[in-house]
Amino acid sequence: MKKVFYSRVSTLEQNTDRQVSQAPEAYLVLEDKISGRIPFGDRPSGSKIIKMAKAGEISEVRVHSITRLGRNQLDILATIKQLTALEVNVTSKKENLSMLNEDGSQNLFSNMLIGVLSSLSEFEIELSKEKEVDADAEVYEIAYKLYKDDFFEDAICFIDMTIPTLVEGSILVSKFELLKAYAIGKYQNKDSYIAALEKVAVGYPQTEQGKKALEIMKRLK
């Protein structure tokens, strides 16, 4: 079976000579000039490697550094797991990693290191989410201040611009929507207010805001 040396640079202007010069003799050299944000399997040479692996045509994919496989740790881990599941060893010169032993068994040290990287990645993602939620909460305070200062139209405009930028699934969306309904109720007619409340009640029935909107609707009708 063939052994592949894979190299990647981010732009067409860059060259892979430095990486390729490290390729062992008899290795098939495949390269991509593409952003690391593109998943490995969606790259021209990356997809070719996956197809060769599925066909049982290669036994190893070697890289200068595992960063050539993806933009972040989760992408890299996904690629490594996909290839090793197909019994293709993934090796890197810089990190001195070999995911499989010569007999095809899992290399315990390398897999332990990858496991640590995986845990760190998940931690980084959770931390990032927490920071995004904190930022969303600060933005809500801006909208609430506009409302409290009687700038109702400005508050609605601000909310309409903000909601699409919130973290997907953010619990603050229902809070923004209810605040928007309150603002509508301050200067528009009763029917408009009820319609805005209904949007919150129907769209977020299990939230505190959805239940509050429903309660107000019942009092108004």
Q: Both 142 and 209 in a single domain?
A: yes
Is residue 33 one of the residues assigned to a domain?
yes
Partnered with residue 33 across adjacent β-strands are 9
Q: Both 137 and 171 in a single domain?
A: yes
Q: Is the pTM of this model over 0.75?
A: no
Q: Both 167 and 205 in a single domain?
A: yes
Is residue 11 one of the residues assigned to a domain?
yes
**Nearest CA-CA partner of 29 in 2, 9, 65:** 2
Count of structural domains within the chain: 2
Alpha helices per DSSP H over 86-165: 108-148, 152-162
The CATH code of the domain that includes 101 is 3.40.50.1390
Question: Strands of 58-63's sheet, edge to edge?
Answer: 28-33, 2-9, 58-63, 89-92, 97-98
Residue type, 8: R
Q: Both 99 and 130 in a single domain?
A: no
Q: What is the pLDDT along the chain (221 residues), one digit of tens a residue?
A: 899 999 998 877 778 788 888 888 899 999 999 887 788 999 999 999 999 999 999 999 999 888 788 766 677 888 888 999 999 999 988 878 888 888 878 777 776 766 665 555 554 555 555 555 566 677 888 889 999 999 999 899 888 888 877 766 677 889 999 999 999 999 999 999 999 999 999 999 989 999 999 999 989 87
Q: Both 139 and 71 in a single domain?
A: no
Is residue 113 one of the residues assigned to a domain?
no
Q: Both 193 and 102 in a single domain?
A: no
Q: Both 102 and 130 in a single domain?
A: no
Q: CA distances (Å), 66 to each of 16, 28, 117, 147, 171, in order?
A: 15, 18, 12, 51, 37
Q: Both 82 and 133 in a single domain?
A: no
The CATH code of the domain that includes 140 is 1.25.40.10
Domain of residue 162 covers: 125-220
